[in-house]
Amino acid sequence: MLVAKNPSHPGDFIRTEIIAPAGLSVIAVATALNVSRPALSSLLISKADLSGDMALRVEKAFGVKMDTLMRMQASYDIARTRNREKQIHEERVTPLKDYTGRCLTSSSTVRGGS
């Protein structure tokens, strides 16, 4: 998956590309989606992540595919995590068994297909 450096939050997309052009209020959209106004507002101002449930509601109400919206959320999450990558300190795990389940020793080599 190609990830943009600073992808938009899906809430920003929903607000600027769907709700604003349609001239709808947050209350009207929240009512149409059968969600609370605070829940929708949090999404639209990028304070809450887009859930699968909300993405499906937006798809049914406005025709924007849930898959597209969820990929936007994933791209946003990946970029946000990459931005704080230096704060995460983990060491690479060395497997004790190869993919066939045999124990590895210092003299063992992993061979494909055998």
Residue range 27-60, pLDDT digits in tens: 999 999 999 999 999 999 999 999 999 999 999 9
Task: For domain 10-87, say whether CATH 3.40.50.2000 is its number.
Answer: no
On the question of pLDDT at 111 being above 80, the answer is no
**Per-domain boundaries in the chain:** 10-87
Q: Which two tokens stand for residue 7?
A: 């992808």
Percent of the chain with pLDDT strictly greater than 70: 86
Res. 106 pLDDT band, cuts 50 70 90:
low
**Nearest CA-CA partner of 61 in 9, 19, 12:** 19
Q: ∠21-65-67 over CA atoms, to 5°?
A: 130
Which of 50, 43, 36, 48 lies closest to 19, judged by CA?
43
pTM of the predicted protein model: 0.76
Dihedrals phi, psi of 103, to nearest 5 degrees: -65, 140
**pLDDT tens digits, 54-98:** 999 999 999 999 999 999 999 999 999 999 988 988 888 888 877
Distance from chain centroid for Cα 32: 24
